[in-house]
Copies of this chain bind each other. A is one copy, B any other.
Amino acid sequence: MKIKKDIVSCKTCVYRTLLFGCLNDIEYNLVNNGRKEIEYKRGERIKSEGEEIDSFLYLRKGLVKIFKTGNQGKDHILSINKPGDFISLLHIFSNETYTYNIEALEKTLVCEVELSIINYLIESNGDFAKTVIKRMGRIADEIIDNRFRQSQKQIKGRVASILLFFAEQIYHSNTFSLPVTRREIGELISMTTENTIRTLSGFNNDGIIRMEGKKVELINVDMLRRISENG
């Protein structure tokens, strides 16, 4: 990791409106002065379970996975997050320490704002408080909904939905390079690596996707969508 200097002002940040749109100039400066930009390489750990929560994080560039380590050492990925996401929002106000891990899946730029400043803004700016509450609710809803939908599918549906997730939510293209290993896809859908690979190979053989190493091209998106929705 590398702490950046000469960082740009929050005022010109593209993600400003997502959360900080309702701040006045004085409040902006508070945030601006109380923040750091930190760069992480692929594979670097950003936060770990048990680590103290003393800042509010959001993703400026890159891609991260949020995951928990289970009993037998197996990881479960809760979500994959992209620029603009608030990767700590869920429980920084209710917990003293992180209950999950965050790791960079590629070169990633994280913006870290001191928690005390965010807390001050919530207390003093009602609009800001409401914005935070809304976003928190949406994040929680998404995780719960996702896991609910996934739990109703079997492996083909889960793999299909992950492929669509990368194409539609992350890369906005039917051709992309997987940012995760096969094992991580398994951790994302709660299946073993072997069966995840078997399913991907199946899609490949059936001509639904074309796959070589990390490179993936979705050929029959309609079919993928049907598989994702019906089982």
Contacts and interface: CB of A to CB of B under 8 A. Distances in A.
A198 interface: no
A90 interface: yes
Interface residues of A, number: 40
Interface stretch (A23-31, A101-109, A130-138): A130-138
A132 B94 CA distance: 10
Nearest to A90: B140
A93 B151 contact: no
A136 B76 CA distance: 23
B70 A152 contact: yes
A120 to B, nearest CB: 9
Interface of A: 68, 70-71, 74, 76, 78, 90-95, 99, 119, 122-124, 126-127, 129-130, 132-141, 143-145, 147-148, 151-152, 190, 230
